[in-house]
Structure 1
Amino acid sequence: MDLPRSRAANERLHRVIPGGAHTYAKGEDQYPEHLAPVISHGRGAHVWDVDGNEYVEYGSGLRSVSLGHAHPRVTEAVRREIERGSNFARPSIVEAEAAERFLENVPTSDMVKFTKNGSDATTAGVRLARAVTGRPLVALCADHAFFSTDDWFIGTTAMAAGIPGEITSLTVRFPYGDLAAAEALLQQHDGQIACLILEAATQQDPPDGYLAGLRDLAHRYGALLVFDEMITGFRFSEHGAQGLFGVTPDLSTFGKALGNGFAVSALAGRREFMELGGLRDPRDRVFLLSTTHGAETHSLAAAMAVMDTYEAEDVTARLHALGARLAAGVREVAASHGVADHVVVRGRDSNLVFGTLDASGAPSQDYRTLFLRQLVTGGVLGPSFVVSAALTDADIDHTVEVVAAACVVYRKALDAGDPSPWLGGRPVKPVFRRKA
């Protein structure tokens, strides 16, 4: 496969954009060498690169495009609203309509404030928790990959350059699923932790009683419980993980699928806390969220259209059904080619990822490179196996056929004891690393 126009476009991107992309997870280093297509356009579950190649796409927009690209209900809502103006000197009535519609969808919250990206929403939640409690420390779940681009989180990663250690020391960690460990952390920092923040679920559902137990622990020690629902919101349930598992946090953040690719995210929570960022509370005010473009009318129109579509078309159920079909197919062909212990599918059916393991069963970037190379050359753009509702059975069947061919190569590499002849260049790299 030759991608001359994509290679040239990647060079253009690197000349003017640090990293060659506006999101590190979309970087050229996340794909096999010379096989990082630059996208021209997309429709439904398919995208086309600037070289004219067509792909079945997974993980669309880092899980944000759950309905498929250019979904007609969403694009029509945006088209109608954008012709009426997008940003004014005072709030648009669309802001009230979108907030009311969101709170219908997430009835566990009393108030909501919209912004443009997930990092701003989670950081606002952390700031609010600190203001409510008067405490400095944030406890985040160590087993969850990403919360924010802001210092309180990024300072805990390998890419901590530019962040003072004094800030990093204000973040502590707890493991997922272990109430005893969480209580030990709360005891160790008694009276200092403002909040516990975590994704309610990722690749596995929470152990029975864990989320309710964590909420009780947080409240017993005077902290707030914050759910990061950027991924779980809508994709696990249209009411979020809090609706699916029946546990209400104090604050929660939503994004990604909320706008089907349009920029909108949300901080939601209990009125007694959210009003600290308002004009009708006598306590010291919190500069909660105040963004010039936070309430662009067309993005809020997109969010309302997304919520209506999820309800009208039972989208969450469709995502689970498509994912189940894909997972079953991948596992079947992996087993038939003797690599079931090395090409593995994990996660809830609506939010699948794949693992690429070496001969000893350890995660391998080399084998991931081999696998991704076979996917891309087979017409599948799949940094994960996260499905969109626009996929068809034919798309799934094609993907499974490509995976089957990849498993043949994978088996050869395992038998040879060295995947390097099949990499085509340098291996793909993890996002969080100290040196480029």
Structure 2
Amino acid sequence: MTVTGIDMTASLKANERLHRLIPGGAHTYAKGDDQYPEDMAPVIARGEGATVWDVDGNRYLEYGSGLRSVSLGHAHPRVTEAVRRELGRGANFVRPSIIEAEAAERFLDTVSTADMVKFAKNGSDVTTAAVRLARAATGRPLVAICGDQPFFSTDDWFIGTTAMDGGIPRSISDLTVTFRYGDLAETEALLENYSGRIACLILEAATLREPPPGYLAGLRALTKRHGIVLVFDEMITGFRWSEAGAQGLYGVAPDLSTFGKALGNGFAVSALAGCRELMEQGGLRAGGERVFLLSTTHGAETHSLAAAMAVQATYVEEGITARLHALGERLAAGVREVAAAEGVGEHVVVRGRASNLVFATLDERGVPSQEYRTMFLRQLLGGGIIGPSFVVSSALTEEDVDRTVEVVAGACAVYRQALDAGDPLPWMGGRSVRPVFRRYV
């Protein structure tokens, strides 16, 4: 049993070409063709708004755009115009450009809990810089990460804790310890157990579930009591929770925070922000021993900073965060309704904040299943929806969301058939999708 009416011949050839030239066939593992059903991994030719076209000419509504980075939609006019304007003035110079001061002022006006900011190109740059700064400021070796959150960095201090820890010495991995989200008592016990050795706690302040009442404030108090730097990773929560991120929404200010993804609407820009006392240790005016905080040739390319400024202005002036929530609420309600109507409401499960929705695919026993995910994704793709998640962009219309729900309804009907048969294999079209973090190919 296959999905018909979609020709992906050119994408298949392009994927082979990519694998010959690029390890993994993509520059980000989460974009790999192993994340999609066999022979149904589109290679994108272009995008506009919430729509993308693959190299075969197939058209899709896109969710999770750019791994959550393109929250305004592709080729957003305010962003592209700002970028074009700066490209005509030059992209990189031997000294700072005035736009670096302008972009910093704009960012700090938005994220008012921070005193200083330094820009880079990707999230790993700035999370690793936060860890280094915390270690330097405290003189302590250990990093405590939230162990039930999926990703913080491509660097050794994090990747050494995953199943893909090849090439990372055990001595490095042993410097990272973990704590569970939402469990203050366990975290306090961890801090006591490693008393005087933990430099920082790093976590996403919220992801699939809201923080328990008092949790973030409790972490803030714990870290102050133990002399530990509190770091919020705002890669996802930045802009999607509020223009000032989770810290702006929940009113708890970390010592350091990191932003990226939505900040540039697809252009490469990230930010490390924090209190002056810490940030100046990576500067020239604090005195004392210097910290190599961040020094990147391309960290302040003018066009990326222009994109960031345009994104922030658009979010504030057009109420983008509220729109993302409204679209997500419409989508979540529609998916839950059609899943229930097809008798799979306990198997196709929508989770997360409305602006950051994901879905779970559960088998007959209610256990997460890659096989059922494969089948579900295959039906979505056949219906013109590319959706590794249900994360919305503001470029979607209500009509787009309703069309998505119609496609999901058809996928849920097939899901019901597979559950009744006790086997999704006839609807999978080949091998199952695979987790990104796994030890073997």
TM-score (norm 2): 0.99
1:86-235 matches, within 5 Å, as 86-235=91-240
Output one character per residue of 1:355-396: Cα deviation in whole Å (capped at 9) or x when no partner.
000010010000000000000010000000000000011110
Q: What is residue 428 of structure 1 aligned with on the other side?
A: 433
Aligned residue for 2:267, secondary structure, equals: coil
Aligned residue for 1:344, secondary structure, equals: strand
1:322-333 matches, within 5 Å, as 322-333=327-338
Q: What is residue 382 of structure 1 aligned with on the other side?
A: 387
Aligned-residue sequence identity (percent) comes to 76
Among 251, 269, 273, the alignment partner of 2:274 is 269
| C-alpha distance in structure 2 between counterparts of 1:2 and 1:338, whole Å | 31
Are 1:68 and 2:85 an aligned pair?
no
Offset of residue 283 of structure 1: 2.1
Aligned residue for 1:375, secondary structure, equals: helix
Output one character per residue of 1:26-62: Cα deviation in whole Å (capped at 9) or x when no partner.
0000000000000000000000000000000000000
Letter in structure 1 aligned against 2:113: T
Aligned residue for 2:213, secondary structure, equals: coil
Q: What is residue 310 of structure 1 aligned with on the other side?
A: 315
| C-alpha distance in structure 2 between counterparts of 1:163 and 1:218, whole Å | 28
| C-alpha distance in structure 2 between counterparts of 1:118 and 1:156, whole Å | 18
Aligned residue for 2:148, secondary structure, equals: coil
Structure 1 ranges of 4+ moved more than 6 A: none
Among 375, 396, 419, the alignment partner of 1:391 is 396
Output one character per residue of 1:194-229: Cα deviation in whole Å (capped at 9) or x when no partner.
000000000011001100100110111111100000
| C-alpha distance in structure 1 between counterparts of 2:241 and 2:15, whole Å | 34
Aligned residue for 1:197, secondary structure, equals: strand
Aligned residue for 2:420, secondary structure, equals: helix
| C-alpha distance in structure 1 between counterparts of 2:381 and 2:208, whole Å | 24
Letter in structure 1 aligned against 2:302: T
Output one character per residue of 1:62-115: Cα deviation in whole Å (capped at 9) or x when no partner.
000000000000000000001100000000000000000000000000000000
Q: What is residue 298 of structure 1 aligned with on the other side?
A: 303
Letter in structure 1 aligned against 2:409: A
Output one character per residue of 1:381-426: Cα deviation in whole Å (capped at 9) or x when no partner.
0000000000011110110000000001000000000110100000
Offset of residue 284 of structure 1: 1.0
Offset of residue 282 of structure 1: 1.2
Corresponding residue pairs, total: 436
Aligned residue for 2:212, secondary structure, equals: coil
Aligned residue for 2:201, secondary structure, equals: strand
| C-alpha distance in structure 2 between counterparts of 1:323 and 1:215, whole Å | 30
| C-alpha distance in structure 1 between counterparts of 2:291 and 2:46, whole Å | 41
Offset of residue 2 of structure 1: 2.5
Q: RMSD between aligned alpha carbons?
A: 0.4
Give 5+ residue unaligned stretches, structure 2: 1-5
Aligned residue for 1:162, secondary structure, equals: coil
Among 364, 368, 373, the alignment partner of 1:363 is 368
1:10-89 matches, within 5 Å, as 10-89=15-94
Letter in structure 2 aligned against 1:123: T
| C-alpha distance in structure 1 between counterparts of 2:345 and 2:88, whole Å | 52
Letter in structure 2 aligned against 1:91: P
Offset of residue 250 of structure 1: 0.2
Letter in structure 2 aligned against 1:105: T
| C-alpha distance in structure 2 between counterparts of 1:222 and 1:110, whole Å | 20
Letter in structure 1 aligned against 2:136: A
| C-alpha distance in structure 1 between counterparts of 2:146 and 2:51, whole Å | 34
Aligned residue for 2:67, secondary structure, equals: helix
Are 1:343 and 2:348 an aligned pair?
yes
Q: What is residue 415 of structure 1 aligned with on the other side?
A: 420
Offset of residue 143 of structure 1: 1.1
Letter in structure 2 aligned against 1:122: T
| C-alpha distance in structure 1 between counterparts of 2:239 and 2:405, whole Å | 26
Q: What is residue 285 of structure 1 aligned with on the other side?
A: 290
Give 5+ residue unaligned stretches, structure 1: none
Q: What is residue 326 of structure 2 aligned with on the other side?
A: 321
Letter in structure 2 aligned against 1:14: H
Letter in structure 2 aligned against 1:82: L
| C-alpha distance in structure 1 between counterparts of 2:315 and 2:237, whole Å | 14
| C-alpha distance in structure 2 between counterparts of 1:283 and 1:347, whole Å | 45
TM-score (norm 1): 1.00
Q: What is residue 3 of structure 2 aligned with on the other side?
A: none
